[in-house]
Amino acid sequence: MGLRLEAEIALNSATFERGMSRVKDSVLGTVKAYALGAIGVYSLERAFSATIETARELTDNSKRLGVTVEQLQVMRKAANNTGVEFEALAKAMDKVNEFRAGALKVGGDSNVSRMTAAQLGVTPDMLKNMSAQDILFGPIAKKIAQVNPQEIMKPLRDMLGRSASEVIPALTQDVHALQKQMESLGMIMSGETARDLMQIDIAAKSIQNIFINALAPAIVGVVKMFLGLLTSGGFFTEALDDIIFYIRKITHGDDKKVYGMDQATASAASSLLADAVKGVSEKTFPEVLANLRKNGAEGTRDLWGADVPFTIGPEFMDNFKGSTLREFNKFIESLRLPELTSVDDASKTSSDLITGLKKVLDDLNEPVPKPKKPDFKAAPQETHMRLPDDSLIKVGNFLGSSRGMIGGAQARLEQHAAQTAVNTGLIVQLLKNPPGGEIGQSKDSLFDAMFPQ
Amino acid sequence: MNNATEFTGAFPEPHIILGLRLLPLSLGRYKLLKRFNSPFVSDGEQSLDLKQVTEELFFSLVICGLTCKEFADLENKGFKRQLKRWGRRVQKYIKREKYFSILEKAVAFKRYLDEETQIPWRIFEKETNEEQSPAHWSTSIEVVLMSKVGWTEEKINESPMLEALIHYFKYLESEGHVKLVTPEVYDQMQELANENGAVFEALVMTKK
């Protein structure tokens, strides 16, 4: 293999560059596609969609609670660190807002409410100008740190409701320090990123609707094409499994069962029954059927690459209501890929829709994107530059320079060298123009300090 | 960070991301990440969309979850089965985690890379007149460790990166090419240099 590659490249020197490029692309693409294919398209899709769901939840909750997406994540972390349910904290914030409205209105119990607030160190100005989060983690948290929380439990309950005692541990956290720590570790998803992801979510949902309602017909052809690859084994089989899994997920959900069997067993049962009636004529079919109804059938199915024995019990044949071989073959087909039946039902003939579906399928099976080439002309500034791209979301801030220890050491070295150069330049100036006796003392100290023994 | 890092470097704490226990970052795995243009070891800042982050993270985890020899044998049916099984486990893991974000996992992976390359010393080059080699630093380390320190290819591929860095810089120090100092001493030197710089600057201004 290696020799052959070498020969291909060497024989045509004019296309050497192109050949090298192709070899490189081939190695990168194949290995990545293989590994990602083995992990499963559906697993990657789950990670993708769960992240988008989290972004949606963050955005919705931040709107509901009147805090930024970033603040919400910090509060959630504070709650998590202290074993407090975030929902309890969110409820407490809602209560603060309700309480504030009551305390700021004219008349009624507003005076009582203001006195309650005062007991917790919250002034009317604070009620007017601060967010619920700032009131909770500001004056109230400070008060809790100063006194025994039990002493102020009544006003706390009046302001935060029944969950007051539950949220106290979270309020003892220093949220500003926590926010700094989370930011330094890159643990905070920015509001901008969350909103961008939500847009993707909306787009993805539209695609799913189109997929089910209109574009489904074309998938029949594509999947049938893939059926031919079922027997070839290897990557294509895995890819097909994933595609079918994906289609099933968006058309029927994850728990589709066929006559009480999971999809893999149903598929294996289909093959087993097909083998049983292989070569059987209409005439001899009744005998084969009678045997199946009496004894069932035994076979093996692939489970994680191992042949696992399984049995179709005689009672399973009760599911077959017909009597002819043709009807039996239909029954077998229904076991093989039942989700395709519903896809067939949705069949339409618009060529535009088919084109659209092909695009969706292309996206699903899109090869790993080619790596971006660095702009060598800008090499001296490469650690500060952004590589050109057309990505929708900028998430590179946390994937930034990974020069790591070596880069860091180099940067420090440069900084040190620059500082030394400045100092040395000053020394030279002073040696050329000594200002007086005072300098001798400074010079010795400087050299001692800069070049310790 | 203290001198104990020298000893823990050889047996770093394990990192588990998306249910996959990662092996210590080694020169071999670092080179594989570079070979496949992983954005996590990119020399420049990159912008990726969420799909790319997801794919790159999963692939980088595969690299760091296998020995280099196993990775070279990736197409082996056994590994394929393991990858598939891991993929299904990831689905369960995502289902269980209430606020799942792949971005958080990417950050955790970045932290794994950072932690595995933090050495306990600051390095000063003693001879600065030499031209910078165009070779990548990982290649320089590999060549020195193999030719001078006696590391084998397997040790290069599998030993923790931190251990490799410590041996590399210690060797350079013994040869008189660099000086290693603790971060505390470095900070003191930096502070003194800054103070003296300010004193001289003030004096020069007075003279003018």
Determine what percent of chain A is predicted with pLDDT higher than 90. Answer: 0
The contacts of residue A341 (CB under 8 Å, 6+ apart) are A334
Half-sphere exposure of A69 (CA within 13 A, CB side): 19
Helices A325-336, A285-295: axis angle to 10 degrees equals 50
Interface test with A, best of B51, B168, B184 (most A CBs within 10 A): B51
Of chain A residues 106-165, which have a CB less than 8 A from chain B? none
Examine the pLDDT at A349 and tell me if it is beyond 50. no
Please report residues of B whose CB lies closer than 8 A to that of A395.
47-50, 53, 103
**CA A393, A395, A397, A399 torsion-angle sign:** negative
Q: In whole angstroms, give the CA distance from residue A272 to residue A301.
A: 9
Q: Which residue has the higher pLDDT, A194 or A410?
A: A194
Q: Do A419 and B192 touch (CB under 8 A)?
A: no
Burial of A140 from C-beta contacts in 10 A (0-12 / 13-18 / 19+) = buried
Amino acid found at A394: K
Give the max Cα distance, chain A: 123
Give the max Cα distance, chain B: 79
Nearest to B68 by CA among B204, B159, B192: B159
Asked whether B60 and B148 are in contact (CB, 8 A), the reply is no
Please state the rounded mean pLDDT for residues A170-177.
82
Q: In whole angstroms, give the CA distance from residue A240 to residue A264.
A: 13
pLDDT tens profile B17-69: 998 889 988 888 988 898 888 888 887 767 777 778 888 899 999 999 988 88
Q: Which residue has the higher pLDDT, A189 or A2?
A: A189
Q: Could you tell me the CA-to-CA distances from A332 to A283, A326, A328, B164 in Å, in that order?
A: 19, 10, 6, 60
Report yes or no: A277 at the B interface, CB cutoff 8 Å.
Answer: no
pLDDT tens profile A97-113: 888 888 887 777 777 88
Q: In whole angstroms, give the CA distance from residue A397 to residue A183.
A: 11
End-to-end CA distance of chain B: 45
Q: Which of A193-197, A321-325, A326-330, A335-339 has the lowest mean pLDDT?
A: A335-339
Please report residues of B whose CB lies closer than 8 A to that of A385.
44-45
Interface test with A, best of B18, B46, B163, B192 (most A CBs within 10 A): B46
Q: What is the pLDDT of residue A380?
A: 36
pLDDT tens profile A54-76: 888 888 888 887 788 888 888 88
Buried residues in B166-182 as b, exposed as e (16+ CB within 10 A)? bbbbebbbeeeebebbe
Examine the pLDDT at A358 and tell me if it is beyond 80. no
Average pLDDT, chain B: 80
Q: Which of A424-428, B132-136, B146-150 has the lowest mean pLDDT?
A: A424-428
Helices A110-119, A153-160: axis angle to 10 degrees equals 130
Which helix (H) or strand (E) segment holds residue A448: the answer is helix A437-450
Q: To the nearest whole angstrom, how far is the Cα of B176 from the nearest Cα of chain A?
A: 16
Amino acid found at B184: E
Q: What is the pLDDT of residue A296?
A: 86
Q: In whole angstroms, give the CA distance from residue A409 to residue A420.
A: 16
Q: In whole angstroms, give the CA distance from residue A144 to residue A122.
A: 12
Q: Is the ipTM reported for this complex over the cut 0.85? A: no
Q: Do A54 and B100 touch (CB under 8 A)?
A: yes
Q: In whole angstroms, give the CA distance from residue B159 to residue B162.
A: 8
Helices B27-35, B137-144: axis angle to 10 degrees equals 150
- 3 state SS of A396: coil
Please report residues of A whose CB lies closer than 8 A to that of B197.
419, 422-423, 426
Q: In whole angstroms, give the CA distance from residue A328 to residue A284.
A: 13
Q: What is the pLDDT of residue B63?
A: 92
Asked whether A90 and A58 are in contact (CB, 8 A), the reply is no
B20-22 and B15-17 as β-strands: parallel, antiparallel, unpaired? antiparallel
Q: In whole angstroms, give the CA distance from residue A175 to residue A78.
A: 7
Q: Do A46 and B91 touch (CB under 8 A)?
A: yes
Q: In whole angstroms, give the CA distance from residue B86 to residue A38.
A: 9
End-to-end CA distance of chain A: 60
Q: Which residue has the higher pLDDT, A418 or A372?
A: A418
Q: Which of A203-207, B26-30, B71-75, B117-121 has the lowest mean pLDDT?
A: A203-207
Asked whether B167 and B149 are in contact (CB, 8 A), the reply is yes
Q: What is the pLDDT of residue B64?
A: 92
Q: Do A50 and B94 touch (CB under 8 A)?
A: yes
Q: What is the pLDDT of residue B61?
A: 93
Q: What is the pLDDT of residue A197?
A: 66
Q: In whole angstroms, give the CA distance from residue A407 to residue B137.
A: 10
Buried residues in A99-122 as b, exposed as e (16+ CB within 10 A)? bbebbeeeeeeeeebbebbebbbb
Q: Do B119 and A405 touch (CB under 8 A)?
A: yes
Q: Which of A190-194, A247-251, A308-312 has the lowest mean pLDDT?
A: A247-251
Asked whether A215 and A247 are in contact (CB, 8 A), the reply is no
Least CB–CB distance from A395: residue in B44, B103, B122: B103
pLDDT tens profile B153-190: 888 888 888 888 888 888 888 888 777 877 777 777 77
Please state the rounded mean pLDDT for residues B115-142.
72
Q: What is the pLDDT of residue A105?
A: 77
Please report residues of B whose CB lies closer than 8 A to that of A401.
42-45
Of chain B residues 110-149, which have a CB less than 8 A from chain A? 110-111, 113-114, 117-119, 122-125, 128, 137
Q: Do B77 and A305 touch (CB under 8 A)?
A: yes
Q: Which residues pair with A370 in a beta bridge?
A: none
User: In which band, very low, low, confident or very high, does the pLDDT at A24 lie, cut at 50, 70 and 90?
Assistant: very low
Report yes or no: B51 at the A interface, CB cutoff 8 Å.
Answer: yes
Q: What is the pLDDT of residue B132?
A: 64
User: In which band, very low, low, confident or very high, does the pLDDT at A413 lie, cut at 50, 70 and 90?
Assistant: low
Q: Which of A18-27, A49-58, A302-311, B155-164 has the lowest mean pLDDT?
A: A18-27
pLDDT tens profile A272-305: 888 888 888 888 888 889 888 888 888 877 655 5
